[in-house]
Structure 1
Amino acid sequence: MGLIQNLLRTKGLEGDAGEEGAHGGASLAPSFGLFSLTMLGVGATIGTGIFFVMAEAVPKAGPAVLLAFLLAGFTAGLTALCYAELAASIPASGSSYSYAYVGLGEFAAYIVAACLMLEYALSASATAIGWSGYLNNFLVNLVGVPIPEALRSPMLVLGEKGLEIHVDQFNLPPVILVGLCGLLLLRGAKESATANAIMVMLKLAVLIFFAVIAFTAFNADNFTPFYNEAGMKGVTAAAGTVFFSFIGLDAISTAGAEVRNPKRNVPLGIVLALIIVMAGYVVVAMAALGAQPAADFAHQEAGLAVILQKVTGQGWPSVVLSAGAVISVFSVTLVAIYGQTRILFAIARDGLIPKTFQQVNTRTLAPVNNIVYVCIGVAIVAGTVDSSYLWDMVSMGTLVAFMAVSASVPVVRARLKAASTVQGFRLPFGPYLIPGLSIAACCYILKDLSHATYVVFFSWITVALVGYFAYGIRHSNLTRAAAQKEQA
């Protein structure tokens, strides 16, 4: 088989059902119903773009950041429909990696996997870093004792003169958070899903609490001028920054192998999560912008808590919101780490990375090695790196993965038709219009990401390519199957 044929070879349409014997019988437990699956998506999505990214996005777009959320949500919505069709057709874990493997071939799937690794690891790290600010705000307002500056500041900081290294600093709270998430995940997916659902409900209650109070100080003048000096370019740049928060849509499909009735529940979970997320983002962003001038968002730590303190002139609303953020943002980090461990499991099951990543605990059915490796990597990044490096990188990985999903739809539908397989959910208007619009919208957002983001992204892809040609292409299950067929 030639090199090009190897790069373009695809998996069967049966998804995980055809892989049970390929990894020594290892499998994950079916732990998610529709509600817990929807909460998984909401937990990984809503809150991240509101609790943390307003300080990064509002300075780029001004009050027009509302359009940035809508642009990002519209793009995510188009892609969510593509996810829904593929999830209804291919019962697989691994999300866009697995869909690309069936639709676009092994090489494209490996590149998507590299994007997902970047997306989930940096998302978990960035969220954990933001959590540190709310924890400090909570402690200051409750007991008047802040976390020492040296223990909540990153070692690597993006300053006016470029990268600055402070060897006397280390951001400890994110490392503690990642460790707690790891301990919970080691107990198994069912326990993690239950804890996540509780934290998501708490998060929604806290955001409603914020919106009700913030709207009492609503000032329409804060929306004038609506655009800042950057105009629509600022809107698309802000959309690129906030887009990472829609990682939750992909996180739902990473659980494909652990969902009861996945062909029904995964598409429904994706659509329901998107509706809840967009409603929450728009309401809370509008309340925040109405209560505080756009200029005040720049470099604001624990922004929503600070806004409540300004509005009420009292500390207790800030304490309530910070406490809710400290507890509920745990769920964002938890789901991001969960998603990466399941993607590693799917890639290892296909033979593209070493077998150690597909081993599961016989009692909890959790991929223990993956959890430990991922938590160590995320903790190192979260403890040492300034979060301003991370937001756009996560968005880059998310956008590339979303484009791969959209491009897979027409190919998979054609294969299903050729195999006379009955499909579940199908996109309206045929297999090209919505996927094409999704890809175009992703490209529109990608164009205004920073030069540094592109440099780091392509450097990471180069490393991934070395891994594929040095190990993956030779150890792939499809390579072994072809060799066995030739010997027979």
Structure 2
Amino acid sequence: MNHEPSLLKQLKLWHIVVIGLGYMAPMAVFDTFGIVTESTDGHVSGAYAFTLIAILFTAISYGKMVKAFPGAGSSYTYAQQVLNPSIGFLVGWTALLDYLFLPMINALLTNIYLSSLFPGVPKAVWIISFVVIMTIMNIFSVHLTVSFGTLLVAFQILVAIIFIILSATTQGQELSFKPFISESASISLLLNGAAILCFSFLGFDAVTTMAEETLKPEKTIPKGILIIACTGGALFITVSYFAQLLFPSASLFHDLEGASAEIAYKIGGQLFQSIFVAAALTSTIASGLVSHMSASRLLYAIGKDGYLPRRIFGYIHPKTKTPVWNVVIIGGLSLISLGLSLEKATSLINFGALIAFSSVNIAVFIHYFIHQNKRSLSGYISYVLMPLLGSLFLFFMWLNLEKTSLFIGIVWSVIGIIYLLIVRRKNTITIPTFHFD
């Protein structure tokens, strides 16, 4: 009998929703607002609505795969089980770009917010403090992390609601559909915005790494994924709508990248601007907590199978029931942000996310339609049409991927192939078996 410690099943639906929304960071809607206003010619809400509809197809694909394979590895596990173990490893390897660098991005954003309030404090102080706190909190039980994250997410949503109320009551012009559609709008403009906003929805996929710690994951995770995507999307659309009424053109901003501060000041003056900055800071902390958590679980899944040293990456602490060494490793890697700019760190996550999304849509088609022969009318819709629509949107994302992301992603993939060839000779790989009802 196996007496080794394992991840503890304890998460319920509301835990999953909090983790996903924390990862998604509701206040992120303001970070890209100025840039997307310019790229969509004042149709940010329309771009968000288009992106939500398009990304839902991939979100549904994740829900279908976690029903079949409720493991901690997310896209790594699905590709490993359906496509090929080696392909699964490479999917997990490339997905690590997304999972490893998001904690660094949150560290950099935290530094930006705190440095604006305390300009005399060195950058290293904020980044190191942030990383240490995230690491310590993730070492302890998941319940502690999620409970603290709940408060942070609730505060963000509260500030977003206050923003909506203030903007609705102080609006100088009547409500209109212009933020969604107008005579100057076009599909190409909405696609331009979607190319940027697509990554605002990262979070629904991250919760699948928590499947082994979730009660009835085959039911809970799919529900959570839809709630996360729809709640986040509805919040993004509503907030951007009222912000767009205030700032219908990018020319009204002095600084496109710093548009959030200008929006907050116009709505509620310096007081609300201070509250707004506090909400933005809690956004990075909440996202930092859950991105750290999900990255450690992906490493655990890969390590447990033997692709990485099991004694370290497959280790679960007997008391905390968390992958302690992975948590510490993620913390150590996050310190790389001391030498990175926000722009460079952001460009590193997109390749891994697109690989993961694409592989999951392919896995749905192969697992259900090919392997399980589900070829009724509903089967064609669920397992062919829907993943195909999700893949078509992702194809557009691939076409708009930054050259830096593409180059780094290819180099990282080549390193992964070389590592795979070496590790399969030396290590004993154990592919997990899932039992179906």
Could you tell me the TM-score, scaled by structure 2's length?
0.88
Q: Deviations over 1:181-214 (max 9, x none)?
A: 1111011212111111221111111111122223
1:61-460 equivalences under 5 Å are 61-137=40-116, 139=117, 146-148=118-120, 151=122, 170=123, 172-215=125-168, 216-217=170-171, 235-292=190-247, 293-296=249-252, 299-300=255-256, 303-312=259-268, 314-355=269-310, 356-381=312-337, 383-413=338-368, 417=372, 429-460=381-412
8 Å contact kept, 2:91–2:355: yes
Matched, 1:462 2:414: yes
CA contact (8 A) 1:218 1:290 kept: no
Distance in 1, Cα, partners of 2:424 & 2:45: 43
Q: Which moves more between the two structures, 409-418 or 204-213? A: 409-418
Change over 3 Å in CA distance of 1:221–1:276 after alignment to 2: closer
Q: CA offsets, 1:244-270, max 9 Å, x none?
A: 222211111010000011111011110
Give SS of 1:363's match.
coil
SS at match of 1:315: helix
How far apart are the structure 2 equivalents of 1:342 and 1:480? 15
Q: Matched residues in 2 for 1:479 and 1:100: separation?
A: 12
CA displacement, residues 100-151 of structure 1 (integer Å, 9 cap, x when unaligned): 11111112211211222111222222233223333345x3xxxxxx323x83
Q: Are residue 50 (structure 1) and residue 29 (structure 2) matched?
A: yes
d(CA) in 1 for partners of 2:132 and 2:242? 34
User: Which stretch of structure 1 is more off in the superposition, 300-309 or 263-272?
Assistant: 300-309
Structure 1: 4+ residue segments shifted above 4 A: 218-227, 229-235, 296-302, 478-481
Partner SS, residue 390 of structure 1: helix
Q: Is the 8 A contact 1:121 1:374 kept in 2?
A: yes
1:32 is paired with a residue whose SS is coil
Q: Contact 1:63–1:226 at 8 Å: present in 2 too?
A: no
Code of the aligned partner of 2:22: G
In 2, Cα distance between equivalents of 1:214 and 1:480 = 52
Distance, in Å, in 2 between the alignment partners of 1:205 and 1:290 is 21
**Structure 1: 5+ residue stretches without partners:** 1-19, 140-145, 152-169, 421-425, 482-488
SS at match of 1:63: coil
1:291–1:171 distance in 2 versus 1, CA, 3 Å: farther
Residue 221 of structure 1 deviates from its aligned partner by 10
Structure 1 residues 193 and 302: CA distance shift in structure 2, 3 A? farther
1:475 is aligned to: 427
* Aligned 8 A contact 1:244 1:394 in 2: no
Going from structure 1 to structure 2, the CA distance change for 1:369 and 1:62 (only over 3 Å counts) comes to: farther
Q: CA RMSD in A?
A: 3.1
AA partner of residue 344 (structure 1): L
Q: What's the offset of the Cα at 1:446?
A: 1.7
The answer to whether the 8 Å contact 2:127/2:335 transfers is: yes
Give the CA deviation at 1:34: 0.5
Shift in CA distance, 85/27, structure 1 to aligned 2, threshold 3 Å: same
How far has the Cα of 1:374 moved from its partner? 0.8
Q: What is the Cα deviation at residue 315 of structure 1?
A: 1.3
